Structure 1
Amino acid sequence: MTVTTPTSPPVPGGDQDVDFDALAQKFVAVTRLRRPRVHLAIVVTLGVLTAVCLLATVTRASAVPLIPVAGLAAAAFAARRARTAPTDRQLVTHLAVAAVAIAVSLWSMSFLTRTFL
């Protein structure tokens, strides 16, 4: 087993000082949506979730499953804006909006399923 030494000295109380700037830079580098595969994966995932909502609308003969589609549309818009974001701050902001919109859509799907369907 290999033991790695921490990059920063321990702080009193057992916590370690974490370099958040380096962490943020790595996050932005990984989520940079100028890479077509990452953007394509997000768009395909949003498309599959939208198709599930549309299929549920047809099979249930009710318009209730269409409610999460608004959040999915907002997430798709934010993902598109993130792809063309000129600065890292705007990229992280658009990705956060997309993540929150997807989370709200998934929550509304489960809530509607438990409550109405």
Structure 2
Amino acid sequence: MDSNLLAKSNLSPEQLVLLQSEFDKKKKSKTIAYLLWFFTGAFGGHRFYAGDTIRGICMLLTLGGIGIWALIDVFFIGSRIEEKNDGLESNILQDVLAIAASKKEALSEAVQ
């Protein structure tokens, strides 16, 4: 997260708006993850939502370790979603920086 803050401090206002709008479209919600856990915990619905497909399938096949795995997961859902969102923000930030670099390169080529 700290590296994201440092990189974001170098963005223009337009780039920050682009980053935030893309992040808002794609971020995962803790509330939805907890609701999925509550209603589909033993079946791994919250894992599929968070993008943990392999663990979701394992939970589905074992019924969440007969519920034990699902019970343990309730304590880690929030941090897992934060981790996923931090990674998502980092990926979007890299995309925004790549777009900015390509625009800068195109401008310098046009000037020459």
TM-score (norm 1): 0.36
Q: Which has the higher helix share?
A: 2
- Higher RCO (CA 8 Å, separation ≥ 6 residues): 2
TM-score (norm 2): 0.37
